[in-house]
Amino acid sequence: MSYETECDHCNTKLVVIGRQMGVPGGLEMEEGDCPLCGNVVARIMTDGFISVKLTEKQHQLLQTIFNASRWGHSSPPDVVDTACSLIAAGFVKQSGNDLHIPAEVQQALARIHQPLKV
């Protein structure tokens, strides 16, 4: 089971993934946190566990910004536009048209197995 959601704290687009363990009578309330800000974004009764990742699109956006900043390039205006909620939340730092991803965000992505590729 998986579905898309949006963190109501930082507006990051997320996907909640649930895995059933198939244990009879093992239902428990599991919580899933936003990987970037730690806000609880899902509460599900399950006998397994849930994980929360960034949507493919959101992750690609961060990768695009990361690539540009590594090469010292400015991000195009449409990328800056698309990233506005991430910039507002402080997960993408902006100076003019130059965007970069802070180390703590890169670490958060690595923790959920969505590292930015160098």
Contact positions vs Zn ion (CB under 5 A): 7, 9-10, 12, 34, 36-37, 39
What is the C-alpha to C-alpha distance for residues 51 and 60, in angstroms, rounded to an integer?
Answer: 19
Closest CA to 91 of 99, 75, 102: 102
CB 107 to Zn ion: min, Å: 15
- Of the two residues 7 and 65, which places its CB atom closer to Zn ion in the complex? 7
Tokens in use for 48? Answer: 């397994």
C-alpha torsion 51→66→94→113, nearest 10: 10
Q: Pick the closer one to Zn ion by CB: 36 or 83.
A: 36
CB of 4 to Zn ion, least distance (A): 14
Whole-number minimum distance, CB 6 to Zn ion, in Å? Answer: 9
Contact 93, 105 (CB under 8 A): no
Closer residue to Zn ion (CB): 9 or 100: 9
Shortest approach of Zn ion to residue 97 CB, angstroms?
Answer: 25
Nearer to Zn ion, 34 or 62 (CB): 34
